[in-house]
Amino acid sequence: MIINDLLSPGENEKYFMLGNEAAVRGVLEAGLSLAATYPGTPSSEIGDILFKIAKDANVYFEFSSNEKVAVEVASAAASSGLRTFSFMKHVGVNVAADSLMTSAYMGVEGSFLLLVADDPSTFSSQNEQDTRHFARQANIPIFEPSNPQEIKDFIIYAYDISDKFNTPVIVRTTTRVSHMRGIVETGKYTKNQITSGEFKNEGLHVPVPEIARTMHKNLVEKIKDIREVSNNSPLNKVIDKGSNIGIITSGGAYNYVADVVNKNNFNVNILKLGFSHPFPEELVKQFLVDNDEVLVVEEVDPINEMETLAVAGANNIDVKIHGKKDGMLPEIFEYTPDIISDALCELLSVDTDVIANTKSDIPLPSRPATLCSGCPHRASFYAARQAINSLNLDIESIHPSDIGCYTLGIAPPYNMANYLMSMGASVGTSCGFSKATEDQPIISFIGDSTFFHAGIPPLINAVHNKTKFTLVVLDNRITAMTGGQTNPGIPIDGMGDEAPAISIEALVKSIGVGFVETINPLNVNDMIDVYKKALDYDGVSVIIAKYPCNLINKKEIRARNYKVVVDNSKCVHCNKCIDQLACPSLNEINGEITINLDCNNCAVCVDVCPTGAIHKQE
């Protein structure tokens, strides 16, 4: 769809929307005043859209330095009476959790919605944790839409719950739900008129122990009241086919259930949970009474299944409950129609040969991820590997890495990532390796956005505790992996306005780092020399590899008045360009080095070639 269509005031209009587009329409229809995020796939498109339309919608939007800050911005604005929105990927909730937990204690005077996009099967993440645990831990209501229309509608409903009970609320999507497309019928949208609120110091906002105990008591009572709402919510639906076998499902998993049941005309009852916490115990209790066997289908963890088992046990209901715990469904990864089909065949004692086949006999080709042609990270990795090799070590080097495109440094021939935990952990773990090892050189990597997100506190720790390692800040002038969003090092804010750019070099020097060098990594031979000096430095050394990502550097790339060519008569077949640089634009065909048309003439291979066979041609 056209992005500006999201601002159409008309209701009952129909658009073909991405799930994340529907989320934007939902918050706009709900009367959003402020939004804050740190970009994370699979939720990134929401921020990309708000960045483009915030001014036209009269909404304040920012890319915060991390998810914790984003939640704090949205929570404080909600405590000033505004309707606010924050969104992130599932692991972002780990970062935000400290403040999110307390926001539930304090409540809000306006309304605050947090959308979290989980990533079953870890398509773009380091784990597949389930956000529904956080909702239960924090006592925050959670809603699970299964398609773009529901995303929009559930958001509006969730805001009403936030208003009524003065509580933060969570809408949980998954990769498939965020990125699926479907017809969305709009409601009425009116351009936001509320741009400021007022904080009134009338409630409980400072959780010192005595006040926190009162807050917790109030929250528990609030959740009891909200449970009554969930038991009767229209978001929880029973599809009754008069069977004695039932399925309890939620979120994206419902789509697979519906596909398999409808294609095969299976006679099963379905309880679809859209408002899944507080768990609608009375509704589930009645569903269990009405069925002899029940299959619980959910992604990722058996959360609803455990709640269902608890309801059955507490009420002495004689019903067989199947799911992840008894092995009828797998405990990991996202589901597919095939997985649900196999489970239902087992449950209904149906021969798998007679059901609608969704499996393909054609194997999918393997396509490993790789850095783009001309990516400055490749030059940084190549130079680091050359510097390490020049030391002629009898011991392995250590390369803590971080979250971003540059995690692909794990692949040969670079082998520049062998330890990764979370955002910013490349610096913290380097501190640990520095203290635990003696002779192993340490070169760690972190992106510019990730450095602002979580790299500064561990770097302070590194200087104060007298560690020794080299940190490479891969400053490609953008938050690249999630689509090109701004960060504090870029002179543009979330509204598209000019903003102060924070200097990484000045910040690092202010911490007390004694060795700081900023260099264009495409000057690969100079980069190798800088690495050698940094590795020789007795303390924390920081190299800022500063060159724009190809996504934002197209004008300069087009302006290059040369192309890189190969004179195979000069080639000695050392294959450094293929085996050590490994740029995807370089190939060896019939014994000759060739350059693909997708080459953007970064010319790193020119420096790598020892004979001048690869050179610039004006």
Domains assigned to the chain? 3-231 (3.40.50.970), 237-354 (3.40.50.920), 376-552 (3.40.50.970), 560-617 (3.30.70.20)
pLDDT tens string 16-54: 999 999 999 999 999 999 999 999 999 999 999 999 999
* Residues 594, 588 contacting (CB under 8 angstroms): yes
Pairwise CA distance, residues 455 & 111, whole Å: 32
Residues 296/302, Cβ–Cβ less than 8 Å: yes
Q: Let me know the angle formed at the C-alpha of 18 by 12 and 24, rounded to the nearest 5 degrees.
A: 70
First to last CA, the chain: 43
Whole-number Å distance between alpha carbons of 456 and 428: 10
Helix (H) or strand (E) holding 564: strand 563-566
- Note the pLDDT tens digit of each residue in 273-308: 999 999 999 999 999 999 999 999 999 999 999 999
Give the pLDDT mean for 73-78. Answer: 95
226: left (phi over 0), alpha (psi -120 to 50) or beta: alpha
d(CA 502, CA 286): 58
Q: Quick one: pLDDT at residue 358?
A: 58
Confidence of residue 164 (pLDDT cuts 50, 70, 90): very high
Q: How far is CA 588 from the centre of its chain?
A: 37
Q: pLDDT category, 200, cuts 50, 70, 90?
A: confident
Give the whole-angstrom CA distance, residue 14 versus residue 579: 53
**Separate counts of helices (H) and strands (E) for the chain:** 21, 22
- Check residue 30 and give its pLDDT: 97
Structure tokens at 296: 């619980």
Q: Of the ranges 80-84, 186-190, 191-195, 367-371, which one carries the lowest mean pLDDT score?
A: 367-371
- Strands (E) in 318-468, as ranges, are 320-322, 443-447
Tell me the three-class secondary structure of 133-179, residue by residue: HHHHHHCCCEECCCCHHHHHHHHHHHHHHHHHHCCCEEEEEEHHHHH
H/E segment holding residue 534: helix 524-536
Calpha distance 288→309 (Å, rounded):
10
Q: Residue 356 has what pLDDT?
A: 62
Strands 83-89 and 34-37: parallel
The band of 438, judged by pLDDT with boundaries at 50, 70 and 90, is confident
**Coil vs helix vs strand at 202:** coil
Q: What is the mean pLDDT of residues 592-615?
A: 93
Q: What percent of the chain has pLDDT over 70?
A: 99
Closest CA to 494 of 32, 4, 17, 39: 39
| Contact call for residues 408 and 368 (beta carbons, < 8 A) | no
Q: How many CB atoms lie within 10 A of CB 498?
A: 9
Q: Check if the beta carbon of residue 315 is closer than 8 Å to that of residue 309.
A: no
Confidence of residue 363 (pLDDT cuts 50, 70, 90): confident
User: What is residue 354's predicted lDDT score, i.e. its pLDDT?
Assistant: 65
State the pLDDT at residue 2. 84
Q: Give the C-alpha separation, 250 to 308, whole Å.
A: 13
Residue 182, strand partner residues: 17
Residue 533 has pLDDT above 80, yes or no: yes
Per-residue confidence (pLDDT) for residue 360, from 0 to 100? 64
Residues paired with 320 in a beta bridge: 293
Q: E strands, 429-524, where?
A: 443-447, 469-475, 515-519
Q: What is the pLDDT of residue 201?
A: 79
With a pLDDT cut of 90, the percent of the chain lying above it is: 84
